[in-house]
Amino acid sequence: MVATFYDYVRGKTDEVPDGYSEKGLNVYRYLVFLGASQMIESCYPEIKKSFG
């Protein structure tokens, strides 16, 4: 069950694991994306600048 949870959060699958709600996991997936993108932007600001 843990593997299916992480697969969903990482976007490898859109199948909601048993015991979880789709709405809740979509929020969690978004928060993971937001945290990762903020971390990358803070560590590599030149990448964002290169996009214009």
Q: Which of 5, 49, 41, 40 is nearest to 25 (CA)?
A: 5
Query: What does the pLDDT look like over 17-52, one tens digit per residue?
Result: 999 999 999 999 999 999 999 999 999 989 878 876
Q: What is the pLDDT of residue 51?
A: 79
User: What is the value of pTM for the model shown?
Assistant: 0.72
Query: If you ran DSSP here, which 8-state letter would residue 46 be given?
Result: H
Q: Note down the domain range covering 37.
A: 2-50
Query: If you ran DSSP here, which 8-state letter would residue 12 be given?
Result: S
Q: What is the pLDDT of residue 12?
A: 94
**Angle, helix 22-43 to helix 2-10, in steps of 10 degrees:** 60
- Tell me the C-alpha distance between 50 and 29, whole Å: 26
Q: What is the pLDDT of residue 16?
A: 94
Q: Domain count for the chain, please give it.
A: 1
